[in-house]
Amino acid sequence: MPKIAELFETMEYGPAPEAADEARAWIAARGPRFGHYIGGAWREPADGEFFATLDPSNEEQLGEIARGSTVDVDRAVAAARAAQAAWGDLGGHGRARYLYAIARHLQKHSRLFATLETLDNGKPIRESRDIDIPLVARHFYHHAGWAQLMESELADCEPLGVAGQIIPWNFPLLMLAWKIAPALATGNTVVLKPAEFTSLTALRFAELCREIDLPPGVVNIVTGDGRTGAAIVAHPDVDKIAFTGSTEVGRIIRETTAGTGKKISLELGGKSPFLVFDDADLDSVVEGVVDAIWFNQGQVCCAGSRILAHEGIADALADRLRARMETLRMGAPLDKSVDIGAIIAPVQLQKIESLVEEGREEGATVWQPSWSVPRDGWFYPPTLCTDVSPAAKIAQVEIFGPVVVQMTFRTPAEAVALANNTRYGLAASVWTENVNLALDIASQIKAGTVWINCTNVFDAASGFGGYRESGFGREGGREGLREYVRRRSEAAESGPRGNSDPAQGDEQADARAQAPAPAQAPAPAPLPAIDRTAKLYIGGRQARPDGGYSLKVLDHQGRAAGEVARGNRKDARNAVEAALAASWAGTTAHLRAQILYYAGENLDARRAAFEDRLRALTGCDAEAAGREVEASVRRLFTYAAWADKWDGAVHRTPFRNVTLAMPEPLGVMAVICPPEPALLGFISSVVPSVALGNSVVAVASERWPLLATDFYQVIETSDVPPGVINILTGVEEELRPTLAGHDAVDGMWYFGTDEGAADVERRSASNLKRTWVEAARGRDWFGPGGEGREFLRHASQIKNIWVPYGE
């Protein structure tokens, strides 16, 4: 009789199909044609167009989905707008009850949702059942809690209004939850477009909304293709766009929404590194790779598609991976013993095949298991590519399939360089038994999420989102909640400060200057004033402008008060290079705090000079000038105080791990300073980024640039390292486009006109830099809205590091 150990070696997995009868019965009863869900009711499409939705595993038609037109989108947005005020007024507790009911009903019908998801998407049923649906319910439970706490924790915020949301086909119901849960919790209403290929679970969710008596118009589901999504993005009555999808479409959305005032969040593509150091547990690494790239057939934006293995263990790892790949099971997704399901559609399958073939032509060694893939449906085998150059197309382009490339490194520094050798920055995974090394490497990788000795772990309490061309904004956690609110409108800006008439003392001085000298002592000819043209401040030095031009600065009476350099695009590029070279982010928060305190001390020591300059330029009285300088000193002290206190958190994710939310600087920040107040506006818009470790290229107020150029004397005497603060003067419209379109600028703040704001947002699409644009007239820089957490949030981004513990 064979031993149990022998049985395990010879045992074969038989089929274990999930019953799909209930799901098919639901499709038959509700369809097979599905309309839109608008205003709490099912609506036929305005133009009567439908398209088929297919089972990727066997090409069987499941039903027909309505194709949304601009008329359908108009109706949905109107319904959402009509419902929003009452939904917001319902209060946090009322919204919490509805979100709780959604979570409970999802759990009650979890198997139906899981089966529908697998039928429509092609992913293995065990993933839909054991991962996706529990996470969906978790998101609604978690955000029910935020709805309850909103009135105390977000007391200064209000909902945006109507949120337009567009989700992809790889996690249809989970992406819906990621977007709808925070939007509803914060008092917004929603118009959501599911992916063209995978609309069924969103339509079942719409039915669930009716079952719990969610007020009509709070959630609206409009199905369709890219044209439907474009109509939502372009709709003038949508206040927020949340999009998950390709980087190419993300750019289009950024350009389309530029200048509209819409708040947007983009979760885009990725080419995530999977770093394996020589002390890692290789057996755990192999299973990690399985989860990283063959989970959901590799159709995951944060898939660990680039294995970076230490040179000493790379061959051993590749051997173990090949052995493990032979044991993977691919087949009908409804089979509970299947590891890998079907690719979503023929177009995606063709893309995967084409990219792998290109990799082979570029010299990669392509290895696939010996077993064959199913002939029915759209399947692609797990694939390992070795002998891959870091510059190869398959190492740079997002394949979005079950294909992983393996490269090697020798040192931790080389590992980081290879990991960051991508235009993306969504996620990364680090494998080592040395926790010090793990945290050191994690802090250097340019990615929004870094997993340590784990991968593809998500939770509602932890924000998820990217750096670089993987987009901006976060979904989940406190960070994700902030994407759906804005600060409450401030009181109307206070009236103009100061006195437009010359001071009495100045009138008397002018009269004395004009009085004739005594005859016996003729006055000598007056000496000409010493000419002083303020220069640019780049890389810690005063620099003449590349173009050799200057601009006159006029005081409040139109008299010449001085000249400043007229910076051009070459000067802007030089300033960005200086900012890139600054070693500021690596300094300690304590040191940054001390330097900012020192700057405040030095500004206070020059108080009289700055007050005189304010009075001479703006015509304000002595009291107003003193008030602005005092406010500027206090603001420096405020951000010095925050420099070592803007820390992260440990998310309460329900796993045996510590999930560290670590704020990080964006990198190089460009700031178009507000036109006024002259000194306080400059300091308030530049110093928050500096406090958190960013280096800044600031374009001074075009109207009052001399206050900024005076300030670089404070910088020079305050031990601020070269390149940390760079100051440009000139015409905003000439400098703004270069900075907004510069690929080395990681974030840009703009306080100016609506037209300028639109231009910044449009040009930022080149590298999808983070932008914060605002009409300068809308903020009281002297009040609470002129400083604080809002500025610090926009000056930082959150990286979530997952550290499991226990044996």
**Sign of the dihedral defined by the CA atoms of residues 93, 99, 103, 106, in that order:** positive
127 assigned to active site: no
Q: How far apart are CA 685 and CA 81, in angstroms?
A: 34
Phi, psi of 330 (to 5 degrees): -115, 135
Distance of alpha carbon 276 from alpha carbon 282, whole angstroms: 9
Within 10 Å of residue 479's Cβ, how many Cβ atoms? 23
Choose, from 267, 483, 664, 761, the residue flagged as catalytic.
267
Cα 669 to Cα 658: distance, rounded to the nearest angstrom: 31
Integer CA distances (angstroms), 635 to 15, 488, 562, 608, 643, in order: 67, 22, 27, 18, 12
Residue with tokens 């000079």, as numbered in its chain: 609
Residues 6+ apart with CB under 8 A from 726: 536, 537, 538, 539, 575, 578, 579, 695, 696, 697, 698
> In angstroms, rounded to a whole number, what is the distance separating the alpha carbons of residues 525 and 527?
6
State the Cα–Cα distance between residues 597 and 602, nearest whole angstrom: 9
- Alpha carbon distance 709, 726 (integer Å): 10
Which candidate in 209, 301, 302, 673 is catalytic?
301
CA distances from 325 to 273, 369, 381, 383, 450 (A): 20, 6, 9, 8, 25
- Hey, which bits of 352-496 come out as E strands? 365-367, 383-386, 403-409, 427-431, 449-452, 471-472, 485-487
Is 301 known to be catalytic?
yes
Check residue 784 and report its DSSP letter. Answer: G
DSSP for residue 406:
E
If we measure between CA atoms, which residue out of 533, 571, 575 comes closest to residue 705?
A: 533
Going by the DSSP 8-state scheme, the letter that residue 791 receives in this structure is: H
SS3 731: coil
Which residue in this structure is represented by tokens 């925050």? 642
In the numeric block, which tokens belong to residue 51?
A: 């398209």
Helix axes 314-327, 282-293, angle to 10 degrees: 60
Name the residue with tokens 């690494």: 285
H or E element in which residue 333 lies: none
| Six token digits for residue 623 | 């009291």
What are the C-alpha distances in Å from 239 to residues 178, 202, 364, 625, 645?
Answer: 18, 22, 47, 39, 33
**Sign (positive or negative) of CA dihedral 69, 72, 76, 78:** positive
With the C-alpha atoms ordered 570, 572, 574, 577, is the resulting torsion angle positive or negative?
negative
Residues tagged active-site: 267, 301
